[in-house]
Structure 1
């Protein structure tokens, strides 16, 4: 190999070594740049995205509970003042805590939104920008807190006084309100469906509701199967240690599905009763018919109460995916929140839509049986005759039965 060939080979080797060094330098530079870019991404971009997410969440919550009463009522079924009071009651009486992750206001807003609109977990996940696990966990925490508030949200009924001018209630001295059962559709395991199937073939729970004259719940008993008779559910309610208590001398208005006995005043069976049967100028022709008319007008309060409850909370209008025990607790919570709204809001906009479309009494003798009573039947008949005669006299007929 001559001298020129050696120089050429040497030059090639030097160039290859320089190329390798340049490649290594480029790679090191790219590594440094990418590491710096990652640090910048984590420090600024992700931080900015987290901030934007938190701000969007706060903005959504503000629109719900701070912007105006209209939004708050439409989305959460109560005005801003009532919502604030509810959060305070949940904190002080319900034991609901703020853990630094989700405020009590946001916990309550998610809970009410689910009850009001019966939307699935993934919908709340999108709207409130929280994980599904977070939503489920706080739903149950708020549910338990609301149930613990029953002592301040259930009402103690006041009996109709002797001198009472209200035409609807004046005949029913000592009456505490009205009670009835309602069917609420539920979702149960296949093996339990026969027990929960009611007369219409729907899978439901038979819920006993007792309300005062101002359409607030006094007592609620959920959990019974849809196949259970109303009278059986009522018997269970009055024998429970913390069940429905009716002082002797007082009573509730009930429909013909219940026994007419002490504590429970029922209409006459086989006689016109429902308000729809008194349209087109029809008038009562006997004491029994007139009694049924006045009884129906007063007892209608429980029908309106149930109608308002289901209109307010969509979760009661179709089966939910919660376990049956949780579904029963949801029913109680809806009744308690209904009472709070009725108590705190001077105008209930949901009631306008309706027009368009456990209290324990201590040291008092109470009724502990549900059975027919000749004395009670006689009292009802005397009351019916008195009502009919006075009504006839007021019309100028002057007839006496």
Structure 2
């Protein structure tokens, strides 16, 4: 099963002295929210209270190491067969890996480590850049990025729904920052409640709401993240196999 990780920058109101800590590269005053969205448009993990200037990799490391944090199974068999789904209508989930638990699709701000698939740097990524016959991918890295972007597009849509539903997320609040964190958390929880109780559409090919990693023992999960040649080779092999099968099917 493949879910997507995204960084959500939610506007907050803090004192002028704290502005440098909360200011993003775009100059906005925000809190850095690490959010994980499932293919059925629900949030399965949300971590708040990091300042907007904090690097995504640091937030991810904290999410994994903290008690009751993000659970990512380890001990993947790199010889497992790779499942390539050429036509999948569920939230544009284009590919997955046949192994235990979840894999998370991340943007380039996150490290390329076991359990997390990031796009290739220096290649086109966003779906709008692949429009038109002349923009078809010409190598495995471009093709991987195109499918990666398509799969993560589900997350972008969910954030659009979230902010469209809750106006308080579209502009900074004037409550105390701790109350703002609680308000943001409440919006995410209410989104999941609405999706569970009021949305009648069931997406085929997805698992049920129960998190299959919730019962994993701590020693079976990744406790810290680090880059490795083994994971890099695995990702390259995945990209090449996907590209080869796409060319054969064309």
Deviation at 1:179, TM superposition (A): 0.4
Q: Is the 8 A contact 1:183 1:204 kept in 2?
A: yes
Task: Quote the Cα distance in structure 2 between the aligned partners of 1:323 and 1:183.
Answer: 17
SS of alignment partner, residue 245 of structure 1: coil
The equivalences for 1:56-205 within 5 A come to 159=1, 175=2, 177-205=3-31
Q: Is the 8 A contact 1:244 1:360 kept in 2?
A: no
Q: Is the 8 A contact 1:179 1:252 kept in 2?
A: yes
SS of alignment partner, residue 8 of structure 2: strand
Matched, 1:313 2:139: no
Q: For residue 223 of structure 2, what is the aligned residue in structure 1?
A: 368
The structure that has the greater radius of gyration is 1
SS of alignment partner, residue 377 of structure 1: helix
Matched, 1:388 2:214: no
SS of alignment partner, residue 223 of structure 1: strand
Deviation at 1:198, TM superposition (A): 0.9
Q: How many residues align?
A: 212
Deviation at 1:368, TM superposition (A): 1.6
Deviation at 1:211, TM superposition (A): 1.1
SS of alignment partner, residue 205 of structure 1: strand
SS of alignment partner, residue 342 of structure 1: helix
Of 250, 260, 272, the residue aligned with 2:124 is 272
The equivalences for 1:173-322 within 5 A come to 175=2, 177-248=3-74, 249=76, 250-281=102-133, 282-322=135-175
Question: Where is the helix percentage greater, Structure 1 or Structure 2?
Answer: 1
TM-score relative to the length of structure 1 = 0.51
Q: Is the 8 A contact 1:245 1:361 kept in 2?
A: no
Q: Is the 8 A contact 1:215 1:301 kept in 2?
A: yes
Task: Quote the Cα distance in structure 2 between the aligned partners of 1:347 and 1:188.
Answer: 40
Deviation at 1:323, TM superposition (A): 1.0
State which drifts further: 375-384 or 303-312. Answer: 303-312
SS of alignment partner, residue 39 of structure 2: coil
Task: Quote the Cα distance in structure 1 between the aligned partners of 2:185 and 2:215.
Answer: 20
SS of alignment partner, residue 107 of structure 2: coil
SS of alignment partner, residue 25 of structure 2: coil
Task: Quote the Cα distance in structure 1 between the aligned partners of 2:106 and 2:221.
Answer: 18
* Structure 2 alignment gaps of length 5 or more: 77-101, 202-210
Deviations 1:366-393 (A, max 9, x none): 1122221211111111111111111101
Deviation at 1:362, TM superposition (A): 3.6
* Structure 1 alignment gaps of length 5 or more: 1-158, 160-174, 349-357, 396-401
SS of alignment partner, residue 221 of structure 2: coil
